[in-house]
Amino acid sequence: MLPRGRPRALGAAALLLLLLLIGFFLFGGDVEYGRPRGAAAVDGDPSADRGGRNRSDCVPPRPPLPKCELLHVAIVCAGHNSSRDLVTLVKSVLFYRKNPLHFHLVTDAMARNILEMLFHTWMVPAVRVSFYDVEELKPQVSWIPNKHYSGLYGLMKLVLPAALPPELARVIVLDTDVTFASDIAELWALFAHFSDEQVIGLVENQSDWYLGNLWRNHRPWPALGRGFNTGVILLRLDRLRQAGWGQMWTLTATRELLTLPATSLADQDIFNAVIKEHPGLVQPLPCVWNVQLSDHTLAERCYSEASDLKVIHWNSPKKLRVKNKHVEYFRNLYLTFLEYDGNLLRRELFGCPSPPSAGAEQVQRALAQLDEEDACFEFRQQWLTVHRVHVTFLPHEPPPPQPHDVTLVAQLSMDRLQMLEALCRHWPGPMSLALYLTDAEAQQFLRFVEASAVLSARQNVAYHVVYREGPLYPVNRLRNVALAQALTPYVFLSDIDFLPAYSLYNDLRASIEQLKLGSERRAALVVPAFETLHYRFSFPSSKAEVLALLDSGSLYTFRYHEWPRGHAPTDYARWREAQTPYRVQWAADYEPYVVVPRDCPRYDPRFVGFGWNKVAHIMELDAQEYELLVLPEAFTIHLPHRPSLDISRFRSSPTYRDCLQAVKDEFHQDLSRRYGAAALKYLTALQQPRHPA
C-alpha cells in the first residue's frame, strides 16, 4: 500500500494511467502471446515473481490473488493406487493454499469409499468435497478407442463441463500424478489472463511427441506445434457450455477416428485436436505450472531458468523411477508430501472466515471444555481425537459373498509388522486389519508388503491405515475401523500377537453353519486362547498336540500366570474333554476371543492404551444376551513379545490406572442407562477394582 498523505493521491492517479498503458502493451498482442511456444510461454510467465529478472520494472502486473475466494478443483480418481496418489497431491495443495477449496472428485466406487472416509475424518477447515460417479459418465467416452495407460478414466476430463454443477463457472483440473510446489491460488489467478474467447488454459507439451518425428510412421493426433499437456487444465466451464463443448470435441474425435485407430494419450489427443481447429480457445500457461517429467522430457528448458517451480507432473508410466538429470530434486519434493503428516494440515485459514466442518466444531467444543488440570486430561483428549482413516490402503479384492464366511479382525502398529506373514500362513481367509501409523510409516508399510512374496500374493487382506495422533494407542477405535470394514457376515475378533490353528478358518465356517449362528441363535463362539513363553516353538497342528504341550509345560492357557480371570470362564478343563460346543456363563473380567456376526456391538472407543478394552466389549455382548459357546477343536496361541510402550507406561503410572477406573465407571453408567436393571450384575463386577487385563 502507498504511504499516507497528499503525494500519494497524485501517485495513485499516475499509476492508474500507467496501468492502462501496460494493459495495452501487454494484451494488445494477444494473438502472438496466444500462440504456443515453449520458450515464449516461459518468458511470458506472468506469475514469475522470483526469477530475479524484471524486478525493478512492474509489468506484466501479477494477476490479483483471489483472497478468500473459493477455488474449485476437479480430479478424476479410480482404484486404490490412484486414491493414494490423490492424497499426496491434495497434501501438496493444502500445504501452500491460503484459500477455501472445493474438490470435485470423479471416482469409481472403490475410490469413493476410501476418499469419503478420508476427508470425513481429515476434517480440514475450509475444504469441501463433492463426488461424481464415474460409471454414470463412462457411456459418454466409452465409444472412444484408447491406448493410454489411464484407460477410460483419462478421457473423463472431456466431459467435466457437463458433469460438474451447471452453476460452476471455473475449475482447475488436475491429474493425480502432479505435485504442487506453490499456492494454487497463483494458478487460479491466471484465469484473469483469459481473453473473452479463451476457455482452456494449458501448458505446452514438453516433449516432441506431437511433432510426429519420434520414429518412422509415428503418427500422433493433430496438435498446434508441440501441442499441450492436459495434466493441469484451467477450464472456463461457463463458456465451454455456451460454446457447445460436448458437440465440439465429439465431432473432432469422431472425424479423427476415421483415420486414426485410437487415442494414444487419451483426453490429451482430443483436446489438442480441438485446439488445432480452434486455436483461439486456448490460453497458454507458463510452463512452470506443469513441469513434465516424462522420458526424453524437454522440461529442463523450462525449469533450468525458472528458480521457481510451481507444479511437477510425473507423467511417465515409470513415475518416480523416471530417468531425469534432476529427478532427485523432484523426488524429494514429492516425498516431502508423501510422508507429510496430514494432521498438520488441519490448520485454519487466516484472514478468511472459514467455519469448521460440523464434526470439527463439535470436537473443538468438547476439547475446549476439557479441564487441563484433570489428571485424565490426556486420556479424555485422546478419546475425543478424530483420527484420519484411509481404508483399503492397498489393492484388495472383496471376498465372494458366502453365507458363513468369516473375516479375521485385528489391529497393529509398526512394531508388529513381522506378525503379518505368519498370520497369513495360519489364516487363508479374509482379514480386515487396522494399522496405526504415521504418514511416513504408511509408506514403509507399503514397501514392506511389496517386498514380501507372502503378503503381496494375498488379495483378501484389507489394510486400513489409521493415522497416529496423540500419545495413547486407540485400540478400540482401531478395532472398530477394522470391524466396520469386514465384508463377510461373520468376524473373528482377534489380536495381532495370536496365531490361530491352521484349520481354524475352515472349522469356524463349518461351526457357524452347524450352529446356525446369527440366523437362528444369537451367540458368540469362543476360541480358547493359549500362550507360549518360548521363542522357538513348533506350532501344534491339532488339539491333541495342544494338550500334550500343555502337559509338558511348554504351553499355558492365556495369561495363566498374571491374569487367569481373563479366560478362566472358558473352562479349559472342560475343553480338554469336550467333543461338542458347550455354553459358558459370563463372569467379571472375562475377555475371550470370539466369533460373532458382523453387526455385533462396537468397541467402546474411550478405552485407549492398555486395559479392559476387550472386557467391556464382552460385557456388552452379554448384556445383549449373546450365548457364549466354546468350540471344542478351536484354539489360538499368543506368541511372546516385549511389552508395548503403552503397557510399560500403564505399569509405571498410577494416573493411568485411576483414569482407567474413571472410564470403567462412566462405561458402566452408560451400560445401566441402556440395559437398566439387567446391567446391575456388571456394577458389582466393576466395584472391586482389580489389575485389569
Rounded to the nearest whole angstrom, what is the least distance from the CB of residue 43 to its own copies in the complex?
5
Amino acid 256 reads E
Check binding of 469 to its own copies (CB under 8 A).
no
**Interior/surface letters 639-660, b for 16+ CB within 10 angstroms, e for the rest:** beeeebebeebbeeeeebeebb
Check binding of 580 to its own copies (CB under 8 A).
no
Site for its own copies in 133-172 (CB under 8 A): none
d(C-alpha 340, C-alpha 599), whole Å: 35
Check binding of 353 to its own copies (CB under 8 A).
no
Rounded to the nearest whole angstrom, what is the least distance from the CB of residue 478 to its own copies in the complex?
18
Rounded to the nearest whole angstrom, what is the least distance from the CB of residue 214 to its own copies in the complex?
25
Check binding of 308 to its own copies (CB under 8 A).
yes
Cis peptide before 165 (omega within 30 of 0): no
Under 8 Å between Cβ of 283 and 233: no
Check binding of 495 to its own copies (CB under 8 A).
no
Neighbours of 241 (CB within 10 A): 17
Check binding of 49 to its own copies (CB under 8 A).
yes
Check binding of 225 to its own copies (CB under 8 A).
no
Neighbours of 521 (CB within 10 A): 11
Site for its own copies in 323-342 (CB under 8 A): 326, 328-329, 332-333, 335-336, 339-341
Site for its own copies in 401-420 (CB under 8 A): 414-415, 417-419
358, 451, 544, 573: which one binds its own copies (CB under 8 A): 451
CA angle 326, 441, 474 (to 5 degrees): 155
Site string for its own copies, 426-445 (x = CB under 8 A): ------------x-x-----
Show Cβ contacts of residue 510 under 8 Å, excluding neighbours closer than 6 positions: 404
Check binding of 219 to its own copies (CB under 8 A).
no
Site for its own copies in 612-641 (CB under 8 A): 640-641
d(C-alpha 145, C-alpha 151), whole Å: 9
Which residue lies nearer to its own copies by CB, 359 or 676?
359
| Binding window for its own copies (CB under 8 A); candidates: 208-216, 307-315, 392-400, 603-611 | 307-315
- Residue with grid cell 487367569, as numbered in its chain: 564
Check binding of 113 to its own copies (CB under 8 A).
no
d(C-alpha 105, C-alpha 77), whole Å: 7
Under 8 Å between Cβ of 313 and 50: no
Question: Closest Cα to residue 151, out of 90, 223, 79, 237?
Answer: 79
Q: How many residues bind its own copies (CB under 8 A)?
A: 102
d(C-alpha 187, C-alpha 46), whole Å: 11
Check binding of 375 to its own copies (CB under 8 A).
no
3-state secondary structure of 200: strand
102, 649, 657, 681: which one binds its own copies (CB under 8 A): 649
Using N-to-C axis directions, what is the helix angle for 613-623 and 654-675, rounded to 10°? 10
Site for its own copies in 64-103 (CB under 8 A): 64-68, 98
Under 8 Å between Cβ of 292 and 226: no
Which residue lies nearer to its own copies by CB, 472 or 600?
472
* Joined grid coordinates for residue 54: 524484471
Check binding of 534 to its own copies (CB under 8 A).
yes
Which residue lies nearer to its own copies by CB, 131 or 539?
539
Site string for its own copies, 9-48 (x = CB under 8 A): -xxx-xxx-xx-xx--xx-xx--xx------x--xxx---
36, 62, 144, 203: which one binds its own copies (CB under 8 A): 62
Check binding of 7 to its own copies (CB under 8 A).
yes
